[in-house]
Amino acid sequence: MDCTPLKDLSRNSYRWKIMVRITRMSEFRSPEKSTIYTLDFVAVDQQNFTMEGLVPGNRVDQFKDQLKEGCVYTIDKFDLSDPKKTYRSVDHPLRICFSMRTVLIEVLPPPENFPKFTYTALPFSRLSDRIDEKIVLSDVVGLVNKVTAVLPPSRNAKSHKRQVYITDGSEPAIVTLWGEQADLFDVDGLIDLSNEEPVIVLFVGMTVSQYSGLLAFKSTSVTRWYVNVPILEIAAVRERSKNMPSRIELQGGKQNDVDPTASSIIEIATFEPNDIMVAPDSSGRPKRKNVGTIKNPKTKKGLHFSDDD
């Protein structure tokens, strides 16, 4: 039985067989994390068409040891279901749904030139139209110029984070990676790489919002990133940013470093208030005094301010 391209799948028949690479696997769990409701993934075929898919909770034990992110499979005897109502990884009217009868076979070796990931990266000008969009997640490409250390939870957040400052060559933006995503981001490796070449990253599976007038992208459970991959969007950012510094700056390299950092007003505007110069005192409690000084460039006089002001 020949494999059907994902673009040709419909509910008119259930006798489909597909060959796809599995990407962006994630678990949708109960609030207490003890139960897996669904095992979700994105499938991409050899023609670079994409669909979301899921393994229902009652089938997870049957397939979780077989299904591996990055591998290519033929999948037969599956169902088609409605897409998620919100936060879809790709925009498609259907989802692949595993059943008890589904047959999953890994293809070894995988065919040559089979897409390794899928993305729909839009320019910043179009991503601004997707602020607070909740139906489909967004993908973005940017030159990385600054990264923070892992920051503790602020305000009502439940998880730690890391902020990545990017530019498309014309405008700046902020990427916030939460929890495990923050831990997995290889800051040291990227800083080393930036000494040799610009580090331009494709981030996929992001929400879009706005912070201090800048585009702000936040990670989700399906967020992934790809560094200096050979795609047109990265080549375009490389060309637009060719005259910009490529060395990545680490902001707040030490968690307990209370020494002030010289920053422009534009840079200060991108900081979250609770993240500026927060460090524990001798009792271990957060300390926010001696936040900084703003100087008039003409008079050289400064205005000192602190959290107590």
Shortest CA distance to 80 belongs to which of 97, 65, 64?
A: 97
CB 162 within 8 A of CB 151: yes
Backbone Cα Rg of the chain:
23
Residues in the chain: 309
CB 203 within 8 A of CB 193: no
Q: Rounded to two decimals, what is the model's pTM?
A: 0.78
pLDDT < 70: residue spans in the chain: 1, 253-309
Query: Which one-letter amino acid corresponds to residue 131?
Result: I
CB 292 within 8 A of CB 275: no
Separation CA 274–CA 253 (nearest Å) = 17
CA within 13 Å, CB half, 202 = 18
249-251 vs 138-148, strand pairing mode: parallel
- Give residue 270's pLDDT: 52
